[in-house]
Amino acid sequence: MEPGPLSEANPTGTWKDFLTLTKVGIVLNNLITTFTGIWIASVVTDFNLFANLHVLILAILGTAFVVAGGTSLNNFIDRDIDQLMARTNTRPSVTGKIPANQVLWVGLSLSALGTVLLYITEPMAALLGLLGLIIYVVLYTMWTKRTTSLNTVIGSFSGAMPPMIGWAAVDPNLHPIAWGMFLIMFLWQPPHFLALAMKRVDDYRDAGIPMLPVVAGFEMTKRQMVIYIAALIPVSLLLYSFGTVYIIAASVLGAGWLAIGIAGFFMKDDLKWARIMFVYSLNYLTILFILMIAVNVNP
């Protein structure tokens, strides 16, 4: 039996339900890139991170709360379309396990708390966190997600903020390396999320969400993904100051992703290809950012 639309009768929300609102997986992925920004900024500016652990703790907690607040607000706003998709129609914000007003207050409270923690760390970090939050909640969730296939590009601006927030927590004068990490994150997101959109194309079509695979088909989506990956490879090499190991690894990772992308034009099973692309994208980002930390080992 499918859950009733936006039912709020007899709410029985548990801590697990509240954690579901925050999309823990997304939060953790963002914290990896935030930590990378903090770590590398410490190296470049000769900032003693271990003697200033409060900066690390406040920045990580602040970012976590801002991201969790944004995803909770996303759940609040998207209740009407989430009930139309098999992937999302069991969310507690849809089933009524957590009433809508509670979902809203969780989102607002976490966002405010995170912004305050980032401000205590460094006002520039708070400004970047707030900017990312506004882009994600207002420009992406409330507007472009429902109106244009460019929604993925708009959302990429907010998703690229965490390494910048991390850097700003240590050094508000954002170094070109911080912008390099921003560009990597910005270009990584469209092929990552378009792969997910291909996997879930029926869900998005049922909910009337104009994701690129819905409005333009798989072939156009594949071409767009390959273009973004091709652009990502030279951008990732802008961080050549990280050394030979980084340059080689980033080149190999990017070339591997591009090869899989091009192979998609010759595979008959588009959904299988999309799953491969999605998994590779996650591994690409994780390995690349861990590598950034590994080659910068003297904070």
Residue spans of the domains in the chain: they are 15-294
Position 57 scores a pLDDT of: 97
Please give the structure tokens belonging to residue 174.
């954002």
* pLDDT (0 to 100) of residue 298: 61
The whole-number mean pLDDT for each consecutive block of 10 residues of the chain, a chain of 299 residues, reads 44 78 91 97 94 96 97 96 92 92 96 98 98 97 96 96 97 96 98 97 95 97 98 97 96 98 96 97 97 83
The CATH number corresponding to 15-294 among 1.10.10, 1.20.58, 1.10.600, 2.40.50 equals: 1.10.600
Three-state DSSP class for residue 172: coil
- At 297 the pLDDT is 78
Answer yes or no: are the C-beta atoms of 6 and 80 closer than 8 Å: yes
CA 135 to chain centre: 12
pLDDT of 11 reads 56
Helix 24-45 vs helix 270-294: angle between axes, to the nearest 10 degrees?
30
How many Cβ atoms from other residues are within 10 Å of residue 240's Cβ?
12
Residue 184 neighbours by CB under 8 Å, 6+ apart:
232, 235, 236, 239, 288
Q: What is the pLDDT of residue 2?
A: 41
Between CA 285 and CA 283 the distance in angstroms is 6
